[in-house]
Structure 1
């Protein structure tokens, strides 16, 4: 007897996690695998943040907190939004969840009904459409292309909106492409949204601190303040402070939506980890100067990887503006055969053949809604990346 609910049956497993788990299993069997499939910084959580978590344990701060987070952290989150993003918010306009993904999950499940639509630009993070489907609504994919820098254009947004549209999801810088919207590009999208007052915006800014080449980060409620009343701005400490396992995300937005999200969270996880909340407080209020070193390291890795991939005849890789991913096209490889005799009919075939023959784990672009590409995470050591690029070059050279 199948006990899976109809709602869950609409949802696909995470391709990112599946490839990462496969790579881990191969490593456990003693195979030489370089896993560039997962998206988390390889740096350690800063020492002062770790110390704050230990202090929270030693001081007995291990009990339930308010469902939506401790007051001290909500104050720090509000201050972060005011300082970094120019958003005029207070702690009562903020909530804390168990990771950025829970913020997204809460917002969508608390507001969506059957028949509602959510516009999702492609390529997209694998979880966006699946959470929409779990909520019983319909994801509407708004395509972009490499020629457009993997960014949603105003025309594509206009074409995707219908009377049933309730949300637009934006992610900048983007997973998987690394595309980062400029203030001007966001203003152009805001011009479209003003004509559709039923559409709310959920912006995933989790990679905010990782923008390169001197660019300035922008978020839509900052550049279009008149849309703040229908915008949820999500962020967290996972990428900015290498705290993926601590599971702390946060957001600001309209109080009625936050109240609904808190109601949902109260019947699911209740509060995020009390220990992690005190560590996140230290992350937001403590020194941020280490981020300059991290950005420089990631930018150097990006440049190494982009140059190495573009040296392959069958790959074409844009220079991403942020995050720690590249999203090269492998379209020229489709129809070829690998040196090991594997037919490369799809981007997934490319990924699986590369893993089997050269031990490098990437994720196929079709999992992110844009076939003919692959995603590589350069959140790894320079030595690992050099070796991975060498192996990818050897694999591509063997295609025929």
Structure 2
């Protein structure tokens, strides 16, 4: 009997691996061969986790916080998360309205896995974080991509939202500040989107606020359920400690939203990973309850790096870059490079070709914008020291001036 034992789940078979991690794998391969690569592809701060947070984790180990926790997280952390949402976002929630997950990515995946069925649609404004459409696909849904180009500041407009909603729409994703563009929605822009959503009560909203504290030029941060409380009953507000506190490897994300949804996500997580790391939860507790000097200092550093990178990139022939309002990514148009040939003989037919050529010939790693749903752009993470950023831009500039 011929049995096909290699048959995969059809949703997984149709999904694509993360473009960011594919580039990171290539960087690792090149470095293993001895190449000195400047990597501007990873979405993580280059700072060490603050000392008081690391100390709290060490103390947690010494005190025996090394066992299973409740699936939804330890109560002390959930109380701190609820206090954060009340204090910083004006959301009227208690610890019972929260959920702790193994990173922000699990929050999003659990929400989709708990609610999507065949034929359900998720509105995904593009440019988007690479994992959004793949998560939707893995959970049997359909990503409805709405292109938001530079003319709208890479942001979804009320008219585009209204046109995208159908009876099959289950979710809308709003990511502010945005990965990959750094775009930030103002209060008025969120209110205008809210007016559309109020007329479509079947649509849930995912507010991905993971870059909340990396917002520049003294702008105020706003989240949808805060701007329009009438939408709170169908909004999942997601956040975490990874970006604000340089804790990407600690894997702690959290959310607040309607209890029926949080309970469903908790049930799923209980059969999937159970609770997040007990030690990481204690570290996250220290982050949320401790001093916030690091948050202010890192934001100032990233704003300075943003200004440096935008200026340097705009001096490179063939690249154009608007100044991002938040996060730590420059989203630079490389339209001026398309169709040209590199010194190594590679014809640059696309932004993906540009990214590969930069890695192979200039020893600089970036991610192609088409992986985020909009090309020809390059997503360039400026989460490195100033010297490395200058060297990277010098290498990119030299690469571009040699094109023919």
Fold-level similarity (TM above 0.5): yes
Residue 308, structure 1, aligned to residue 312, structure 2: yes
- Structure 2 stretches lacking a partner, 5+ long: none
Separation of aligned partners in 2, 1:313 and 1:334? 12
SS of the aligned residue for 2:321 comes to: coil
Partner residue, 2:337? 333
Select which of 46, 51, 59 maps to 1:47.
51
Partner residue, 1:21? 25
Partner residue, 2:210? 206
Question: How many Å apart are 1:106 and its aligned residue?
Answer: 0.5
Q: Please give the TM-score of this superposition, normalised by the length of structure 1.
A: 0.99
Partner residue, 1:168? 172
Question: How many Å apart are 1:313 and its aligned residue?
Answer: 2.3
Question: How many Å apart are 1:396 and its aligned residue?
Answer: 1.2
SS of the aligned residue for 1:313 comes to: coil
- Give per-residue Cα distances to partners, 1:276-306, cap 9 Å, x unaligned: 0011000000000221111111011111110
Separation of aligned partners in 2, 1:159 and 1:22? 40
Separation of aligned partners in 1, 2:281 and 2:246? 14
Decide which moves more: 333-342 or 195-204: 333-342
SS of the aligned residue for 2:162 comes to: helix
SS of the aligned residue for 2:144 comes to: strand
Q: Please give the TM-score of this superposition, normalised by the length of structure 2.
A: 0.98
Map 1:280-291; keep pairs closer than 5 Å. 280-291=284-295
- Give per-residue Cα distances to partners, 1:29-74, cap 9 Å, x unaligned: 1112101111000001011100111111110011111100000000
Partner residue, 1:383? 387
Partner residue, 2:135? 131
Separation of aligned partners in 2, 1:273 and 1:298? 29
Residue 343, structure 1, aligned to residue 369, structure 2: no
- Give per-residue Cα distances to partners, 1:168-225, cap 9 Å, x unaligned: 0111000000101111111111011111110010011000000001111110001011
Separation of aligned partners in 2, 1:294 and 1:354? 28
SS of the aligned residue for 1:32 comes to: coil
Separation of aligned partners in 2, 1:170 and 1:29? 40
Separation of aligned partners in 1, 2:304 and 2:144? 36
Question: How many Å apart are 1:104 and its aligned residue?
Answer: 0.2
Partner residue, 1:275? 279
- Give per-residue Cα distances to partners, 1:6-26, cap 9 Å, x unaligned: 121121000000001111110
Residue 182, structure 1, aligned to residue 170, structure 2: no
Question: How many Å apart are 1:5 and its aligned residue?
Answer: 1.5
Separation of aligned partners in 2, 1:65 and 1:306? 45
**Structure 1 residue ranges (4+ consecutive) displaced by more than 6 angstroms after TM superposition:** none
Partner residue, 1:265? 269
Separation of aligned partners in 2, 1:355 and 1:6? 33
Residue 234, structure 1, aligned to residue 238, structure 2: yes
Select which of 316, 319, 324 maps to 1:320.
324
Partner residue, 1:219? 223
Residue 156, structure 1, aligned to residue 160, structure 2: yes
Separation of aligned partners in 2, 1:311 and 1:272? 45
Question: How many Å apart are 1:4 and its aligned residue?
Answer: 2.0
Partner residue, 2:68? 64
Separation of aligned partners in 1, 2:137 and 2:78? 30
Select which of 1, 5, 8 maps to 1:4.
8
Question: How many Å apart are 1:3 and its aligned residue?
Answer: 3.4
Question: How many Å apart are 1:391 and its aligned residue?
Answer: 0.6
- Give per-residue Cα distances to partners, 1:212-251, cap 9 Å, x unaligned: 0111111000101110000000000000100000000000
- Give per-residue Cα distances to partners, 1:78-110, cap 9 Å, x unaligned: 000000000000000001000000000100000
CA contact (8 A) 2:245 2:294 kept: no
Partner residue, 1:97? 101
Select which of 114, 119, 129 maps to 1:110.
114
Separation of aligned partners in 2, 1:53 and 1:376? 32
Separation of aligned partners in 2, 1:317 and 1:148? 15
